[in-house]
Every structure is written in structure tokens, then in C-alpha cells.
Amino acid sequence: MRDTKGFKIYRAVVLVVLGLFVLVPLYVMVTSSMKPLSDVQGAFTWWPSNLTLDPFVDMWRTVPLARYFVNSTIVSVAATVFSVMIAILAAFAVSRFRFRGRTVFSTTVLSTQMFPGVLFLLPLFLIFVNINNSTGLQLVGTRLGLIITYLTFSLPFSIWMLAGYFDSIPRELDEAALVDGCGPMGALWRVVLPAARPGVIAVAIYSFMTAWGEVLFASVMTTEANRTLSVGLRQYSTQTNVYWNQIMAAALVVSIPVVIGFLLAQRHFVAGVTAGAVK
Amino acid sequence: MSVATPEAPVSAGATPRAQKKRGPDRRPGLSRKLPYLLLAPAILLELLIHIIPMLVGIWMSFVKLTKFFIANWSAAPWAGLGNYQVAVDFDNAVGEGLLKSFGVTIAFSVITLALSWALGMAAAVALQPAFKGRSIVRTLFLVPYALPAYAGILTWNFMLQRDTGAVNHVLVDNLGLTSDRPFWLIGGNALISLITVAVWKLWTFAFLTLMAGLQSIPNDVYEAASVDGAGLVRQWRHITLPSLRPVNLVLVLVLFLWTFSDFNTPYVLFGTGQPPAGDLITFHIYNASFLTWNFGSGAAMSVLLLIFLMIVTGAYLIVTGRRSRRA
């Protein structure tokens, strides 16, 4: 069916147009990262006249990129690990227990996800300042503050998605584990979690991507010492020069970990992200 | 025997119930507390990051919270509805700016949503029947979504530079459409640039979601339709679109909420010197708060934005809910 000539033409047009739309910026990113500075400061060319890998070397010196890389990695990995652990516990409770306040919890968690981050930014900033004043615990301008902030960004989505995954696992499985002498936590650990592994992977990727790409809170809550990549990359623009070739090289390098992770696990991810929308 | 018989169903019914109780409810004290223990970390964090800040934000919108009170903000003087009056006084510079930004945001949001949906739909339909290389194309289409937002937006920023960018190179040098090189990041074209970049990043999500929705439509429905002589357009109109209705309802709302609260695109694309034509509302609130350090005013704008989003979401859910029940 649908292998008519008309459909094939339509498909070819869509693939070419959208393929170009997607690919051209990626092509510009990759090729510009291999041009000398004089080339990216002059008229644009599709093909680099002097192919060079210098931007990939120079970018580490122009800006303390390595430090930003370390900061982003620590913050994103920590936020991902905590977010996934907390989401697993909460999703298990929502999926397997009937308790007072269950609906209130689910609704509240879901609705916080729809509000823009700028709404929480100012109050959170002040709360962090206050915590610092009263307890001496520094949250503004530290990695800890960012980790706490980021792990809640992905939390609502993770809880929602994992609860859906857990629901799809037959209850008879963990009831059998309970009969065999496992406690509820044993049933979660030995039966439910292994069966929900794709969901856990998807949630982990989502959390990592969210933290790695976050801009708003990173721009307000960081200082030079704990700056992450999303803000640090701006520093290639100085008063006198914009190092476009190094910006493109850095953008390429910081994208590689997430893109590879995403593409490796895209099957789980796509299934997970769309499950909620489709159901 | 005759006495025991009527009792038999009762005890038979009681036995499995008692057995079930031996599961999670064997230790009733722990079992009743357990869900709350499991939820405790999530509740604590939600309180700290979302719920309490929201309440503090509402309180902030009622006080004169200027830079003099940042360090000791609980001492800020009460402003009543003052911050709100300033925000909605459209003859005043602050109110006028907010109103303009709101208009820009509506335009940005609606156009970006429509284009992302249309491109996502076009691609999902094109990729619905299996063909050689389909998974490669699908993976390729996913790359803009996987890329960190700022990496993609920085690339677009480079492409939209007036003298050295790829966009003007194509328009002016390759195609010769205009002789003078237009500005894309300042002036009136800024909104076009914003929409292009946002669509580049977002249409993939629409594509993903719609494609998942299309997988659930059985092939023989289309076969039956083409036997009956329905063309591709009619098949799309009468099979694809109605089947995707539940997906579309969620997708449109999510895309609207995302585009309306987009911060990354204007912030990375324009830096802090945003052109009025690309002054999206979240960015406007950010600037109003952090450039002038007038947090009370920024908070009042945030609460207005929140109320607007809640009204739109509520109205949308009521309207679509009612319609799908009728259908």
C-alpha cells in the first residue's frame, strides 16, 4: 500500500528539505571548527580553505574549558544519580501502594513541571541566600546548589515516567517475590527494577541531558569557580574578538557525550518520552 | 455437614484475603508508613525547589524588594498591589514593556508551535511506511533534540551573523535575493530568527511523538481505504488525523507551554542586549529582575505569567476534554 508514486515523491521532498534543515547547522558547526580564525572572521565559505585542527587545541587555553567540563560533569552526574534514585522510590510508592495523598502528590509533582523555571529562579535565589545567612551553608555559587536545583528539574518527569513503567509490570511478579520472603524493598530491587530497566535508562538520560544543557540557573547560580559549560562557552566572545572557530569546536566537543548517549539508548528514550503522550 | 455448607463460601473467600495480607500488609505499621518513607526525599526536594519558592514568589510580588533588601529580604516593606499596578499600567514604561513582550511571546509561541507540529507531522507521515534507511533518517532527525540547547543555538548565532554568517551568504551571495545584507539578530528580523531556531530544536519532539502515535494505527485500515479509492490526502484527513487526536491534544499543550516559557533560545541567541522584536516574556522577566534588581516587580510579572498559563491550560483541558467526550 502507500507505495504510490505520489507518496514516494512526497517522501523524497520531505526527506531532502528537513534533512537540509537539520544537517546544515551541524555541517556549519563541524566545518567552522576546523577553520583558522581569519576564515571565520571573513566571508562565509562552505568548504574550509585551510583545514586545521588548531581550534580544538586552542579552545582549552582561551577559556578554562577543562574546568567547566569538570564542573558540568560533576553536577550532571550527581544530579542524575540522585534524581534517578529518588524517582525510583517515589514511583514505586505511587505505582504499588494506595495511600492517602497519592493523587495530591502526583498532581502537584506533574503540575510543577509545567511552570517556567524563571518563576522559581528569583525566590530560590533568595532562599539560598537566606540558608547561607542562617546556617552558613553556601548554595549560590557552589556545585551543591546547582545539583539540588537540577535534580528536581528532572524529578517530576522521572517519577511520572517510571510510575508508568512500573504499572506495566504485572503485580503478580512482585507479589510472588513477597510470598518467597522478600520485603517490599527486596521486591523492588530484585523484580520490579530489572524489569523496568529501559525506563530507568531513559530517565537517567533525560536527567543528564537536562542538567548538561541547562542555561538559566547556571547563569545566575554560578561564579567563575563552579561555572558550567552552558555559561562558560560565552566567554569565547571577548571585547576584541569572537573566536567562532573555537566556539564551534567547543560546542561540538560538549555535545558529543550527550549525543552518543542519546543515540545509543534512543530506542528506550523514545519509547519512554512518548509513552505518556500517547497513552 | 448441612451446617458447614453455607459457611464454606465465607471461609473460602476469607482465606485468599488473609493470604494476600501476608504480603505487603504483614507488618501493618511499617506498611502504612512505607509509601510515605519512599516519597519523603521527593517531597522534601519538591518543597525546597518548587513549592516553597512558589509561595515565596507570591509573597515577593507584594513587597518592595529592591537591591537594598536583597541581603535581608524578609525586612522588605509591604507594597500591597503596587507591583501589580505598575506591571499592568500600560501607559507606564514598565507596563508597556510587559505588554509588548507578551504580544511578542504569543506570536512566537503560536507560530513556533504551528511550524513544529506541521514539520513533525510531515516527517512522521513520510516515515510511517517502512523503507530502507528509515532508522538512519530517524536517528538523524533526532540529533538537534539530543544536542545541548546552547550548542545548537550558538551555531545558529554564528550562521545568522550579518557579515560572516552562512544565512546571508546563501541569501545574498548564492541566491542574490537582496543586495544589502539584512541583520538577523537585531531589529525586526529578530523574531524570525528566534522562531527558526526554536523550530529547528522543537519539531523533532513533535516528530517523535507523532511517529509513536502513528505506529498504533494498523496498516490494514489504510489498505481498506485505498481499496475504497481514498487518496493519500483523504487517508490522512480521515484516518491519520482522527487517530492521532489524543496524541495531538497532549502535544499541542506541551509545545505551547514549552515555547511560551522558552528562555534558552533568546538568552543564548541574543545575549543580554535583546532586540525588542525578540523580547520573550521569560527573558523580559529575567532582565526586569536581574538588570534593575527590582525583584518585587519581577515576581509580580512572574505571578501574572503563572496565572495566564494556568488559565490557558485549564481552558484547554476543559474544551478538549468536553469535545473528546462528545466524539
> What domain count does chain B have?
1
Name the residue with cell 533568546: B266
Provide the CATH number for the domain around residue B84: 1.10.3720.10
| Residue B268 contacts residue B185 (beta carbons within 8 Å) | no
Say if B51 falls within a structural domain. yes
Name the residue facing B23 among A86, A175, A234 (closest C-beta): A175
Task: Report the pLDDT value the prediction gives residue A275, as an integer from 0 to 100.
Answer: 57
Say if B4 falls within a structural domain. no
Residues B34 and B37: their CA atoms lie apart, in Å, by 5
Answer left, alpha or beta for residue A226, where phi above 0 means left and psi between -120 and 50 means alpha: alpha
Identify the CA nearest to B113 among candidates B241, B239, B213, B253. B253
Strand partners, A242: A237
List the domain range (segments joined by +) for residue B235: 40-65+73-325
- Reduce the secondary structure of B194-224 to three states and give it as a string: HHHHHHHHHHHHHHHHHHHHHCCCCHHHHHH
| Residues of A whose CB is below 8 A from B39 | 89-90, 93-94, 105
Task: Quote ipTM for the complex.
Answer: 0.90
Say if B129 falls within a structural domain. yes
What long-range pairs does A35-39 form, CB within 8 A, spacing at least 24? A35/A245, A36/A245, A37/A241, A37/A243, A37/A244, A37/A245, A39/A245
Say if B78 falls within a structural domain. yes
Residues A101 and B258: their CA atoms lie apart, in Å, by 28
Positive or negative: CA dihedral B44, B264, B70, B303? negative
Which cell numbers hold the place of B221?
Answer: 485500515
Largest pairwise CA distance in chain B: 105
| Residue A199 contacts residue A165 (beta carbons within 8 Å) | yes
**Tens place of pLDDT for every residue, chain A, 279 residues?**
467 888 899 999 999 999 999 999 999 999 999 999 988 888 898 988 889 999 999 999 999 999 999 999 999 999 999 999 999 999 999 988 888 888 888 888 878 877 778 888 888 888 888 888 889 888 888 999 999 999 888 898 889 888 888 888 888 888 888 888 888 888 888 888 888 888 898 889 889 998 999 998 998 888 888 899 999 998 898 888 889 999 999 999 999 988 988 887 777 776 666 555 444
> Looking at chain A, which residue has its C-alpha nearest residue B253?
A114
> Looking at chain B, which residue has its C-alpha nearest residue A182?
B23
Task: Report the pLDDT value the prediction gives residue A171, as an integer from 0 to 100.
Answer: 85
Say if B151 falls within a structural domain. yes
Q: Do A216 and B263 touch (CB under 8 A)?
A: yes
Say if B47 falls within a structural domain. yes
Strand partners, B78: B63
Interface of B with A in 219-278 (CB under 8 A): 219, 222-223, 226, 231-232, 235, 246-247, 250-251, 254, 257, 260-261, 263-264, 267-268, 271
Strand partners, B62: none
For chain A, the structural domain boundaries read: 64-235
**Tens place of pLDDT for every residue, chain B, 327 residues?**
333 333 333 333 344 444 444 444 444 556 778 889 999 999 999 898 888 998 988 988 898 877 777 767 777 778 788 889 888 888 888 888 899 999 999 999 999 999 999 999 999 999 988 888 888 998 899 899 889 999 999 999 999 998 888 989 988 888 888 878 889 988 889 999 999 999 999 999 999 889 888 888 888 888 888 888 888 888 889 989 998 988 898 899 889 988 998 998 999 998 877 788 889 999 899 888 877 778 888 889 999 998 999 999 889 988 887 655 444
Say if B125 falls within a structural domain. yes
Domain A64-235 has CATH 1.10.3720.10: yes
| Residues of B whose CB is below 8 A from A44 | 164-166, 168-169
A11, A85, A220: best to mutate for the B interface, most B CBs within 10 A: A11
